[in-house]
Structure 1
Amino acid sequence: MVIRRLIAGLSHACLYLAALGAALMAVLISYVVVLRFGWHQTPHWAEELPRFILVWSAFLGGVACTYRRSHLTAGLLSTILPDGPLQNAVRKVGDVAMIFGLAVLGYAGWELSELTMGQPLPAIGVDAGYVYLALPVACAAMVIVQLGQLFGLVSDEAKES
């Protein structure tokens, strides 16, 4: 099914971008450490650029976690309720609650991003709104994935991908 592949592709793209961001952050921070302790110089972007990359990587990684249902949970549902229709119904209610929560969070992130556009970060000169834009972008992607899970478009094999 096309929608299933699009959701899987979205999740995998976010995962790869998050991994790329983590690798880039490791390189940048290593470079800063060498400069700071080897030559007693610190680049002007030493704090802001890695933080910018960290925020985007964390939120994009959250999309992949949503796809795999690997966010931290108490795991009590499978212990309290037997497998069957009641457990599935409770899981669907959880999916709807997640969609609602992500929509509210994404909207708040959009508002914050709009509010901070035009306020450049001093070291790298990028508007602060672009940092906060990670929240609504990731929330929108997570809503898409969560809708796919709600309607059975994300299979259980997603946990293993």
Structure 2
Amino acid sequence: MEVPQSEELDLVKEARDYFYYKPEGVRSWGGPGRPPEGLKEVDQHSYPAWWNKTGVLMIQVETLNAINNIPNFSIDGVDCFSWGPADLSIDRDAHPEHPFAKTDDTAIEHAITLCKANGKKLCIRSYDKTLRNRFFDLGATILMEVPSMEGTLDPDLPFG
């Protein structure tokens, strides 16, 4: 699950608490109507245990402030942080003097440094598989790709 526009630690904690089932979180059992593949018995004990072990909680960082808060947001239960090519564009434009606002790459490198220092990963949306190596070279470890968009991006976009 991805939590967008995460700016405050309280939001991150609330997302974590409601993402996980008891005892790790406060989420309640919803019934056997969604059996995951490979789980033979679906009940109020097996499904929450499976979810708590396999679910992925991503916190989306869309501002310079959110990136700088990665150390604070790196609480137990948060698996990774996500970033998309347009997410920071408005905030970067509003703060051109910020040292990590100069380019997408400087913002990504800073986010990756903070993620590594706090034992987390950075997921980047990459709408073009030709950008894979660029993001991996910057230190990203997870990419989300949309094959149907490949080659359709406007080259004048700031992330094209």
| Bigger Rg, which one | 1
Structure with the larger RCO, 1 or 2 (CA within 8 Å, 6+ apart): 1
- Common fold by TM > 0.5: no
- Report the structure, 1 or 2, having the larger strand content: 2
- Report the structure, 1 or 2, having the larger helix content: 1
Query: What TM-score do you get using the length of structure 1 for normalisation?
Result: 0.29
